Amino acid sequence: MPTILKRFPFFIALLVLLSIAYVGIQTRTVHAATTQPTVPAGSCGDTISDDAQLFGNRVGAVLAQAQATNSSLQADTRVVTVTQAKLAGSNLHDYYYFVQSKCPNWAGQNFIVLVVAKGYDPFLHLGSAFNGKITAADFQQMTLNNRAQLTSGNYAQGSINVLQQVQKKLSPDYTWLWVTLAVLAILIIGGILAFVFLRRRQNATVETQAREQAVTAKEATINLISSLGKKSKDLSPRIEILLALLPPNTATQLHNLFETSKEKQSRAEEHLGNLLSNPATNLTGKSAQADQYAQAQRAYQQLYNEAQEPQYLLQGVGTAVDRLERNPQEPIDFRQLLASGSAQRGISQPEYS
């Protein structure tokens, strides 16, 4: 008994040391348990792992946006929420890399991972396929744009908005190309339409001018040949009376000259009838091309020139009749008479029998 009493302080000291050691071991265990992050409750294959229950009944909406981002960017998007208790003071960057160590496929080049926690700014990880396309300043601005949603507790809408902005930023912007192509298309189409319009207007102007010229030639020819018929009709009875009063030689020359003029007049009238009966040269009905009007104009101009000959022949006959009616015995040189009329009209003297 005295021996036990002597050793009692030793046992007390040993018991105290054991208690202190036990408490230290428990403290380190609790600290390790609180500071060591864990893998999210969802599996590595889940698109949405809402461990912190921040999305509530809008998990489907966040999932739909993640799938839309995947379709647009050919990406593999994951959204993870984590509680403050699991973080235990560590940051979202460290938490992501811990999860990546548990889910190695999350390091893929086309991965987009968004980590959200209450009281923290979201963390975004981009695979090598997208790395460098969004800077830290860009993502900070996205966070600022949606801070009101996140701080008010609407984490679902805030996460959706951030994913939409990430998708927009990573999507290739071909707006300038489409705008350029649209402008070019409009300019080309406008140029073609303007060219067609001007071409048609020019063609219409040319056709109008050609038609006017052809109609003018037609009217002039008709008027000339009509005047020949009227003049011949007026001279015919006067010549019949004179033939009985004139010397035989003068009567013969007058008669031959008149018959020659009527023959040429008749030929001109026949040609005019052919032109007027031809649909291509009568210039009535539907419009024609400019070259068709030009052909018609040339035809009428040629006939007009042809009708000049019977015109000055009848003019010579009329001059002779006027003189012979005053003096039937007056000697008349018909060749000189015709030559004088031809010189005045600038036409070479015709041949006649």
- pLDDT for 10 equals 59
Domain 48-170 adopts which CATH fold? Diaminopimelate Epimerase; Chain A, domain 1 (3.10.310)
pLDDT higher than 80, residue 233? yes
- pLDDT for 35 equals 39
pLDDT higher than 80, residue 277? yes
Measured distance CA(70)–CA(50) in Å, rounded:
19
Q: In what order do the strands lie in the sheet with 123-126?
A: 48-50, 76-81, 111-116, 123-126
Average pLDDT of span 319-337: 85
Is residue 348 helix, strand or coil? Answer: coil
pLDDT band at 147 (very low <50, low <70, confident <90, very high): confident
Average pLDDT of span 237-241: 89
pLDDT higher than 90, residue 87? no
CB proximity list for 219: less than 8 A, separation 6 or greater = none
Average pLDDT of span 129-145: 87
Measured distance CA(218)–CA(210) in Å, rounded:
12
pLDDT higher than 80, residue 14? no
What does pLDDT average to over the chain? 81
Q: 240: which 2 tokens?
A: 């019949």
> 195-227, pLDDT tens digit by residue?
888 888 887 788 888 888 888 988 999 999 999
pLDDT higher than 70, residue 241? yes
pLDDT band at 132 (very low <50, low <70, confident <90, very high): confident
- pLDDT for 353 equals 31
* Whole-Å CA distances, 219 to 139, 155, 207, 269, 303: 86, 92, 18, 14, 12
pLDDT higher than 80, residue 66? yes
Measured distance CA(61)–CA(95) in Å, rounded:
24
Contact between residue 77 and residue 47 where contact means Cβ atoms under 8 Å apart: yes
Rounded to two decimals, the pTM is 0.46
> 19-61, pLDDT tens digit by residue?
665 545 444 433 433 334 445 555 788 899 989 899 989 999 9
